[in-house]
Amino acid sequence: MDRELSEHLTGRMPIVPHATVAGVECWGCIVAAVEDSAVELRCTECGAVAGVIQIEILKGLLGLDCPRASCPRCHQTNVFPGFTEVKSYVCYHCHRAFDPEPDSDLDSLGWVVRVLRPPPADSQ
């Protein structure tokens, strides 16, 4: 088990009581336990596995390893899972659109850009 990565992912997850997810009488909370390319969602108290998810999917859901932009208006951070680059966006918090920079290579009508990451080599 990759303890450091497990702790990092758990720190980014919301606190989820085991009793809420599984309907059991348990005082524990669900944490991430990295095993190879999968993450087991385990209870801290009883050790039960509540679910398993691929590590790359969990990273995307938590907004890790993806572009971020600080809104010039409200100063909140915007996270863009699934993107490799963001040149313009609509702020999730104040809902204001931000055009590309003047030196951008985008045309005026195509200012929303989504560049997908290539699929992992093992998914073929």
pLDDT of the residue at 37: 87
Are 52 and 85 found together in one domain? Answer: no
Within this chain, do residues 73 and 123 fall inside the same structural domain, yes or no?
Answer: yes
Number of domains in the chain: 2
75 shares a domain with 49 = no
- How many whole angstroms separate alpha carbon 100 and alpha carbon 96? 13
Cα–Cα separations (whole angstroms), residue 55 to 29, 68, 87, 107: 19, 20, 27, 36
Residues whose CB falls within 8 Å of the CB of residue 76, separated by 6 or more in sequence, listed in order: 70, 91, 92, 93, 94
- Verify that 104 and 56 share a domain, yes or no: no
Please identify, among 17, 33, 62, the residue that sits at the C-terminal boundary of a domain. 62
Tell me: the pLDDT tens digits for 37-73?
899 999 999 999 999 999 888 887 776 777 778 888 8
**Domain-ending residue, one of 44, 62, 80:** 62
Q: Which domain holds residue 85?
A: 66-124
Helices and strands per DSSP (H, E), number in the chain: 3, 7
Tokens matching residue 43: 């209870």
- Which tens digit of pLDDT belongs to each residue from 10-30? 888 888 899 987 778 999 999
